[in-house]
Structure 1
């Protein structure tokens, strides 16, 4: 075993007996994602009573689980002079309007051109370090092909405050979206847990066995040509939440390459018609509630005009 690996030894408690091995291990450290743990299991880095097991192995009371944690490879994130649409900034927080097509933070295959690269250049050393080297200041994310408002923390106090507000569900997050179909009711709520799709691992899905609670409130703003303009309010913030929830109720987002219909006569290039329009939170220092709103970008507005003209 590599000398650089940290070996963690755990014992299965009685009240956790019967859980899947990957789920059980992933709860012991917030940085150990389920996917990461599954990779370790497949590489033989996790054993149960000295023997390798599969991810779906059901752990039993008293078993000893040994995890050989590989060293973290730190990304070298470079500051880049990329234009930013800054909606608000002070010594604690920065709120930006992210364009469609921009990744939030560096990762596999995306080390440059991200929002973090741009913010590093703009803020210099004034960003919270809690998110680590690859995610300085990042409190929450929106998808690459979703536009709109995003808040970042410029110090650790602000970071903790904003994360706590997200956990307490007190942050206001409202999205504009265009979905396929005419939703027959004015408003509704989708309350369905979201987790990794067991078949297509790169996707998320409604997962009642291993998913996390997810709640989306929506309101129909306008009926268009075979589509609906809606407003979605997030109560939780799961990966791809609005996209998965709207597909679940059979009104998938227009342009969504993953969760939308395979064929559509409506052309919207570059991803889903989804925009983070409103963001509201309590300022970490002053306690004042701050609310920001930006209209959807030009391509979203052009699609709206086209659909209205077809009525």
Structure 2
């Protein structure tokens, strides 16, 4: 685990007429390669950008006892950053300490955590208890994360799952891992994500669905089309048959998404007339009243990583669907 103690900001008055405060930060490894401007924005969220630019212009910022006016200066571990101004940094208030919580850890190492997200839990929510909140509490309670010791990094999910989708979700324990994993997902070259779903029609052949998709906030669902539309985003999904239940006219599919669009699997299947069971929003057949849709993120495959994440290469993290 990559971590470093942060000395909290402290303040004192100078003996000149301006009586400016001094706010001091010591950068840790989660601040590495972040621009000075971005660092300041994160720590002074309520301060107007015009004021931050003024600090830079007037030389009110010192790093390692040298005045720095370059907003693109790259922060390095152990840099001592001093801001001479009356504006106080905004203390983080996004950590919700939970008295009790349940978490199902599937895989963990010093950099990465993979957990099973339950059905009907948001990945992130400013109001309700989210998966992000649960993971932060787990890492806090196991002494792997302390928000008061971080200048800018907040434990964050690497990818999302819909509220109604359960299954595997990844979290980075440090900024370096988060940036590498997000890039890997965007480049589609190091992480393969697989889902399992059950649909309400019998299917015997595989399908590579290529088209375009758009989320409509008015109807709160995505719309898929095989025809190009300028305001839609490209979407590609691979469907392979796992098993066929002829009696109940149901099919279990393995699904691989090559693009990460909102409700991509659900909207694509609806377009082809093969909706997910219990997915009423996308025309699925309801077979019970627990409202859990039959869609599950069940497998992650890793390859091509270097450095601190090289240990992931060849790993297949897989669990059986629960629905």
Kept after mapping to 1: 8 A contact 2:153/2:174: no
Residue 155 of structure 2 is aligned to residue 148 of structure 1: no
User: Which of residues 174, 181, 184 in structure 2 aligns to 1:162?
Assistant: 181
Aligned to 2:201: 181
Aligned to 1:275: 296
Once superposed, what is the RMSD of the aligned Cα atoms?
2.8
Alpha-carbon distance in structure 1 between the residues aligned to 2:102 and 2:301:
24
The gaps in structure 1 that reach 5 residues or longer are 8-73, 301-311
Aligned to 1:223: 244
User: Which of residues 75, 86, 90 in structure 1 aligns to 2:105?
Assistant: 86
Query: Residues 131 and 175 (structure 1 numbering): CA distance in 2 closer, same or farther, change over 3 Å?
Result: farther
Alpha-carbon distance in structure 1 between the residues aligned to 2:151 and 2:160:
15
Kindly report which structure 2 residues correspond to 1:11-90, keeping only aligned pairs within 5 A, or say none: 76-80=94-98, 81-90=100-109
The structure whose Rg is larger is 2
Aligned to 2:192: 172
User: Which of residues 309, 316, 320 in structure 2 aligns to 1:286?
Assistant: 309
Kept after mapping to 2: 8 A contact 1:82/1:113: no
Alpha-carbon distance in structure 2 between the residues aligned to 1:131 and 1:233:
34
- Return the offset for 1:90: 1.7
User: Which of residues 210, 217, 222 in structure 2 aligns to 1:204?
Assistant: 222
User: Which of residues 157, 172, 175 in structure 2 aligns to 1:138?
Assistant: 157
The more displaced of 208-217 and 174-183 is 208-217
Aligned to 1:194: 213
Kindly report which structure 2 residues correspond to 1:118-133, keeping only aligned pairs within 5 A, or say none: 118-124=134-140, 126=145
Kept after mapping to 2: 8 A contact 1:131/1:138: no
Corresponding residue SS for 2:163: coil
Residue 267 of structure 2 is aligned to residue 244 of structure 1: yes
- Return the offset for 1:99: 1.4
Query: Residues 75 and 240 (structure 1 numbering): CA distance in 2 closer, same or farther, change over 3 Å?
Result: farther
Q: TM-score, normalised by structure 2?
A: 0.62
Q: TM-score, normalised by structure 1?
A: 0.64
Query: Residues 123 and 239 (structure 1 numbering): CA distance in 2 closer, same or farther, change over 3 Å?
Result: same
The gaps in structure 2 that reach 5 residues or longer are 1-45, 51-91
Kept after mapping to 2: 8 A contact 1:165/1:281: no
